[in-house]
């Protein structure tokens, strides 16, 4: 893999500020063989068909909607493996993934630190130093008590790795952290040559400024990341829940939580200051018995626009659901 972005890519401006270098489609089934234009195929639920490094398997059951994301490139794609990191890039954006088996997570803090440091070093060498969006799927995410909870230990390791760079809190990626049904840890990510613009929510304390009661180190992510491509803006919205300030609201009331998290998403859209429409909506639901009520409630907000709903545990035990989104220029 090349060490720097190609001169051709630089001339085209295919980085935030240039033309958007990919599209994303939701489909019901993953292709048996990935085409040459595919940057990433994110499959929720079913097993991978092969060991193509662009195929990312997320062990969460699909409750509603299409469970496969096909990220296609408008530029030539190269892909391969760098040790335990699978990657694909097109001169403007890079998708990658790293998986750790459960046997490596006895010391979660240490394992996550090394995983994030390993990814960051790979991105620096590859010419894509700017993390844009990260997904983290952690088996037993809320297992353990107090500071020994797995998510808190994950947050410590991530913070240690990202804070190696001065001023890291000003260029944090959008992110999601959800409990998975398989053992181990999956991290997958999008990176570019230049960062987007970090967006925070005035209704919420920034996650990286949470008080000590939520763990030894605050979660290191932005509420959203805005990319101003030449052909229109794109907004990656992090996993967003029913949190105002730093406190969970509407415990035991999933529909009230849904209303609250949608108010948080709207606040992020207002902060972005762009006319944007939803391109992809993904909701994680703790209790499948709430599915019908949640789907009906979503229709009052989004009409017939499809929402993929996955069975997944949120990083706070009192939260019933969480949503993430990708918005595009209207």
pTM, rounded to two decimals: 0.95
Taking residues 23-30, what's their average pLDDT? Answer: 96
- pLDDT greater than 80 at residue 47: no
In this structure, are residues 186 and 58 in contact, taking their beta carbons and an 8 Å threshold? Answer: yes
CATH code at 7-329:
3.30.1330.40
For the chain, the domains span 7-329
Taking residues 236-262, what's their average pLDDT? Answer: 98
Tell me the angle at which helices 150-162 and 108-126 cross, rounded to the nearest 10 degrees.
40
Tokens of 179: 């409990």
Tell me the angle at which helices 254-272 and 291-302 cross, rounded to the nearest 10 degrees.
30
Residue from 89, 260, 322, 324 carrying the catalytic annotation:
322
pLDDT, one tens digit per residue, over 267-298 is 999 999 999 999 999 999 999 999 999 999 99
Residue 182 has what pLDDT? Answer: 86
CA distance 23 to 29: 17
Bridge-based pairing state of the strands 78-82 and 85-89: antiparallel
Residue 48 has what pLDDT? Answer: 75
- Among candidate residues 218, 270, 263, 212, the one with its CA nearest the CA of residue 242: 263
Tokens of 59: 């062990």
Q: pLDDT band for 1, please (50, 70, 90 cuts).
A: low
Residue 11 has what pLDDT? Answer: 35
Of 114-118, 126-130, 179-183, 311-315, the poorest mean pLDDT is in: 179-183
Indicate if 322 belongs to the active site.
yes
- Among candidate residues 105, 104, 107, 135, the one with its CA nearest the CA of residue 119: 135
* Average pLDDT of every residue of the chain: 94
- pLDDT greater than 80 at residue 5: no
């Amino acid at each position: 893999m090349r060490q720097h972005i190609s001169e051709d890519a630089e001339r085209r401006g295919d980085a935030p500020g240039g033309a958007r270098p990919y599209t994303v489609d939701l489909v019901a089934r993953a292709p048996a063989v990935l085409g040459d234009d595919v940057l990433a195929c994110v499959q929720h639920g079913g097993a991978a068909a092969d060991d193509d490094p662009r195929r990312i398997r997320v062990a969460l059951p699909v409750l509603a909607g299409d469970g496969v994301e096909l990220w296609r490139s408008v530029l030539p794609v190269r892909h391969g493996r760098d040790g335990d990191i699978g990657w694909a890039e097109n001169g403007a954006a890079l998708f990658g993934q790293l998986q750790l088996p459960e046997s490596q997570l006895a010391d979660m803090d240490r394992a996550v630190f090394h995983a994030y440091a390993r990814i960051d070093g790979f991105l620096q060498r590859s010419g894509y130093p700017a993390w844009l969006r990260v997904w983290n799927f952690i088996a037993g995410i809320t297992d353990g008590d107090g500071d020994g909870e797995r998510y808190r230990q994950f947050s410590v390791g991530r913070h240690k790795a990202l804070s190696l760079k001065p001023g890291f809190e000003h260029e944090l990626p959008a992110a999601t952290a959800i409990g998975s049904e398989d053992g181990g840890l999956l991290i997958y990510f999008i990176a570019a040559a230049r960062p987007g613009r970090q967006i925070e929510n005035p209704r919420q304390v920034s996650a990286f400024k949470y008080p000590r009661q939520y763990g030894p180190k605050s979660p290191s992510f932005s509420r959203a990341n805005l990319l101003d491509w030449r052909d229109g803006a794109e907004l990656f919205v992090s996993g967003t829940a029913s949190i105002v300030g730093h406190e969970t609201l509407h415990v035991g009331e999933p529909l009230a939580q849904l209303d609250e998290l949608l108010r948080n998403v709207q606040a992020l859209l207002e902060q972005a200051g762009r006319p944007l429409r939803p391109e992809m909506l993904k909701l994680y639901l703790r209790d499948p018995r709430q599915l019908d009520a949640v789907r009906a409630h979503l229709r009052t907000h989004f009409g017939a626009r499809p929402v993929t709903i996955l069975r997944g545990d949120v990083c706070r035990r009192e939260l019933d659901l969480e949503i993430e989104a990708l918005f595009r220029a209207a």
